[in-house]
Amino acid sequence: MSAERHNWTKEEILEIYNQPMMDLLFRAANVHREFHDPNTVQVSTLLSIKTGGCPEDCGYCPQAARYHTDIEGNDLMTVSHVKAQALRAKASGSSRVCMGAAWRNVKDGPEFDQVLEMVRTINKLDMEVCCTLGMLTENQAQRLAEAGLYAYNHNLDTSEDYYKDVISTRAFEDRLKTIDNVRKSNVTVCSGGIIGMGEKLEDRAGMLVALATLNPQPESVPINALVAVEGTPMEDMEPVPIWDMIRMVATTRIVMPKTQVRLSAGRTNMSREGQALCFFAGANSIFAGDKLLTTPNPDVNEDMEMFKLLGLKPQQAFVKAPQPKTVEQEESVLQPLGEKPKWTRPGHKIERNEEAKAKARRS
């Protein structure tokens, strides 16, 4: 029986990642079957509730205001719009809605209140609700929990070492602090990263060390392949080879046996055979819907055809953790504290980010 371990080292993880492919697949598939039904895949729908205009400088992201990309920004969606989208997602097999807002951090006020109302609304549709809103305080995490939030997504993105080459407007420790704030509530943690940003294998292993040594480990770990978007600092990155994705998924499965490993961005570049190998290697969650925030994703009908072909079933909501209770706003015992936490702003220069910013100014 594989146990959850919290003392993984980078060397051990690299040894797993680099072993012969057949050995890696066999080991990962065995671990997967110990903890999960291998024929069930959890389906999430990602909804961009506030797009673009973000003040951060994440080198992979087309929503950063400082780069010139083709995305169309919008203000915070209304609750009724979100409800309609959630119902559509449920009808097409999703058990979870993940709402993303392009914010640096959550601020108490009418917009956050509106998000809390979205959380209540979706929880009442008997769907798992996840949010990804940037950095947040313990009080804000508690308020989300009280509204019925099931999961909070906050990706580590990459290793602590490489983080400095991707983002200069916040630090790795801010990510860990937010995850810790979420952990103090009863909301589950979703945290993963992106491969194909020019990182070394040591960085992929370093990110997995950071995630696997959290205690408890995140309930959900998205593994993204970079989608290189024109206008971002990473526009010229080569696509991630499918074998790297399979190795990353398998290694994640082995070091975090109970976690739902989500095959996230980059699926449009993967064949069905490639995705099937990822499922065999331990991926048991996908994002459905034709857009992932702003980047393309396979059509939901295509995914359902793939499920049929592979004999996969969508996972029902709340099989891994019970449905949270929603407390109505008027019955809330928690007050907004109006805190202004000092999240880090290292501000160092990242050459490719600077170049993309200069190019945006010229266009």
The least distance separating ligand SF4 from the CB of residue 64, rounded to whole angstroms, comes to 4
Return the axis-axis angle of helices 110-123 and 79-91, rounded to nearest 10°. 30
Question: Half-sphere exposure of residue 7, counting CA atoms within 13 Å on the CB side?
Answer: 0
- Reading the block at residue 336, the tokens are 């907004």
> Is-catalytic flag, 278?
no
Distance CA 360, CA 320 (A): 44
Of the two residues 59 and 282, which places its CB atom closer to ligand SF4 in the complex? Answer: 59
One of 88, 131, 204, 262 is an active-site residue; which one? Answer: 262
Cα Rg of the chain, angstroms: 19
Return the range that interacts with ligand SF4 (CB under 6 A); candidates 60-68, 222-230, 242-250, 311-319: 60-68
Where does this chain touch ligand SF4 (CB under 6 A) — which range of 13-21, 58-66, 187-195, 337-345? 58-66
Report how far residue 81's alpha carbon sits from residue 165's, in angstroms, rounded to the nearest whole number.
Answer: 37
Query: Number of residues in contact with ligand SF4, rule: CB under 6 A?
Result: 8
User: Reduced to 3 states, what is the DSSP secondary structure of residue 125?
Assistant: coil
Under rule CB under 6 A, residue 149 binds ligand SF4: no
Question: Could you say whether residue 58 binds ligand SF4 (CB under 6 A)?
Answer: yes
208 Cβ partners below 8 Å, 6+ apart?
A: 8, 13, 251, 252, 255, 256
Instruction: Give me the 93-112 binding string for ligand SF4, x by CB under 6 A, dash otherwise.
Output: ---------x----------
Options 41, 42, 45, 56; binder of ligand SF4; rule CB under 6 A: 56
| Rounded Cα distance, 306 and 211, in Å | 30
Asked whether the beta carbons of 218 and 232 are under 8 A apart, the reply is no
Q: Per rule CB under 6 A, is residue 54 in the interface with ligand SF4? A: yes
Q: Is 64 in the site for ligand SF4 (CB under 6 A)?
A: yes
Angle between helix axes 242-255 and 21-35 (nearest 10 degrees) is 40
- Catalytic residue, from 120, 130, 131, 253: name it: 130
Let me know if 190 is a catalytic residue.
Answer: yes
**Cβ atoms within 10 Å of 72's Cβ, excluding its own:** 8
Distances (CA, A) of 340 to 93, 140, 298, 320: 40, 12, 40, 34
Tell me: is residue 131 an annotated ligand-binding position: no
Residue number, 58 or 129, with CB nearest to ligand SF4: 58
Q: Is 131 a catalytic residue?
A: no
Q: With binding defined as CB under 6 A, does residue 63 bind ligand SF4?
A: yes
Please enumerate, by residue number, every residue annotated as part of a binding site: 54, 58, 61, 98, 130, 190, 262
Residues annotated in the binding site for [2Fe-2S] cluster, as ranges?
98, 130, 190, 262
Annotated binding site for [4Fe-4S] cluster: 54, 58, 61
**Contact positions vs ligand SF4 (CB under 6 A):** 54, 56, 58, 61, 63-64, 102, 134
